[in-house]
Structure 1
Amino acid sequence: MPAPTTPGTGTTGWLPDVLDGFEQLTLPLTPDDEGEVVATLVRRRRAPDGSDPLHGGARPPGVPDRRIDVLYVHGWSDYFFQTELADFWEAHGARFFALDLRKYGRSLRPGQTPGFVTSLSTYDEDIEAALGAMGHGVLTADPVMRDRGLVLMGHSTGGLTLSLWTARNQDRVTGLVLNSPWLEFQARDIGRKVIAPAIALRARLDPMVPLPQVDLGFYTRSVSKTLDGEWDYDLTWRPVRGFVVHGGWLAAILRGQAAVELGLGITVPVLVLLSTSSTLLPRWTPEMMHSDTALDVVGIARRSTDLGRLVVLSRIEGALHDVVLSAPPVRAVAYEQIATWLQGYVPGPAPASAGAVGPAAGADAGAAAGAAAGAGPPQA
């Protein structure tokens, strides 16, 4: 397996990605009882000499280097395909990387149980491998990289995982952005505490025990271009009704949520993006095109206060579960909220243009403001 390289120092190990204009690096991890285990890091394709098009001398005019690197981690039954998210961060002077965790997306190998782990701390190895390849490893000797900040961004389960990791590694993180993080169970803390002992017992007896399928495919209907959505992605890596949920995995999620309830004590700035409403019903309704159909956003909003000292909560009207997959005017508001938080809480030079707050700017941003009337600025 080719050795990973620090971005900007060469192309060893990096191969063309399934996304046009991107490349991927396979990160070998410790094998388990299902065989080979890897994670996969994705970034914008570098020049043949290995130079970074944004920060290696070919930087687009007017885009200053904010001296931050962003690592994005996906959610359950998911993988990275949101190239517009990369466009946003790079338009604001950051280097963007995305990580497909073990047994997800690009990292899923034949014979493996998709997404299965029995502890969210298992992903520490995936995250460390990615940070090492980015130049943010614990033992990195590159003084230039030491001067660069690290912003982590996680969606749903990825948001829970990164929250727990950040709490244990605060000295290495500049900021944390959470996109509908799964910080609390859909039945809130009371429901979680009722089911957790039974799930934990079943998981101890057989961690691979399958649980009833509760995903009816409504979220996929709202986002997939093959149905009512606008996004084109691999339905093998992101199935219509999600992966099979196993007892050992759900027990790990419930333990993570219980840890959040106790308080994580995060001291770095945190931004939480959430829809203003959830639609959790056993039948399809049009409201599912404009709300979170996976999680209880009220319960998560309340639990967000347990993350740390400085948590900015942005409730966005009309947002889907993955906020950046919402309708264009809605996600433009989300990008504007991230840009405002970035400017206010993450050190670095100002973006080139105050008007270019995301992929949708200008007239689109104006339309977005109207569509999200009532969302207002981020609320602490």
Structure 2
Amino acid sequence: MSTASAQSSPAIAVHAATARATVDLAAVSANVTELRRRAGSAQVMAVVKADAYGHGLLPCATAALRGGASWLGVAQLGEALQLRAAGITTRLLTWLHVPSSDFRAAVAADIDLSAAAPWALEAIAEAARDTGRPARVHLCVDTGLARNGAYGEDWPALVAAARKLEAEEVLRVVGVWSHFAYADAPAHPSVHRQQEAFEEAVALAERAGCRLEVRHLANSAALLTNPGATYDLVRPGIAVYGLSPVPDIGDAASFGLTPAMTLTAGLSLVKRVPQGQGVSYGHQYVTPTETTLALVPMGYADGIPRNATNVGPVSIGGRRHTIAGRVCMDQFVVDVGPDLVAGAGDEAVLFGTGTHGEPTAEDWARATDTIAYEIVTRVGARVPRIHVGATGE
């Protein structure tokens, strides 16, 4: 049986009549099931950071677990604590920390923690001493992304520090992990180099005495294009939500994925204007003929890219159109042409699955020179997420 829910703050309640992001939780579950099939013997960690890439943290986490994920992953500790507070007890990793992070709450909640520097290990160990239970730690190694992770000679030093704390029985190293720089370009030579560096780092940790439960390197792109990188655990993110991480190689459908989010709005005004009428701020668009303009009550405050001016695709009345003129904070205009009959309250589809000819998040990404990740993640908080397609509730 389908269910639908939305956040209910006053601001969102006001906006609910104008725009909505409908999230198909059945699609999320099905996507995870497909990713699990592709992972082979590796476990699947569904990455639900950033409010599940804008799709809704708790509903999508639950849907991912229904689809077969045995781990969840988030960037920030607050996200992990929110999942635990909601009653989710599955294995859970969080990896982006600062010295002020409340590791005591994380250790008490049985949250796996990543460490990339000795200060993090010491802070986690102190939290474990305070709570009276050992912490579960994944050591992060920088294999060439030059972002998070211990680099070069910092790696053996990190492993040595971790082993010292293991001997004290305040923590246990349960994983080693890293992240690709070019997973979306599987033929790039850095991919092989990073895998080699990762395996060397794992070997060093194991020689030092670490008894690892999981080794993990593959994100969505690597899972779909590089079976040799799956190891014990994979960390798909964008693919969980039905978007291709490698659109130049294959679209979502080619990987058996279904986009979960459909972004729509009701038209707030439709009017006729003459030829030569400038539209929106700065008159970046001028009507080429007498035509009909439709006003869509969404703007950059809702996550519509300002650089979608004159390029953003929108479907109205079953036809594709393009934003006419500059995207404003709360609204933009579409020239629907002289012969399209439309009225206030009719639906504009910004993106969806594409199965009915409507634009997709990837279409928006190409139009605005970005990636689909950003398109879905940036949808603003005042646009309610309406979750449908849940089962067993």
Q: Give the TM-score taking structure 1 as reference length.
A: 0.29
**Per chain length, whose mean CA-contact separation is higher, i.e. which structure has more relative contact order (CA < 8 Å, sep 6+)?**
2
1 or 2, which has the higher strand percentage? 2
When Rg is computed on C-alpha atoms for both structures, the one with the higher figure is 2
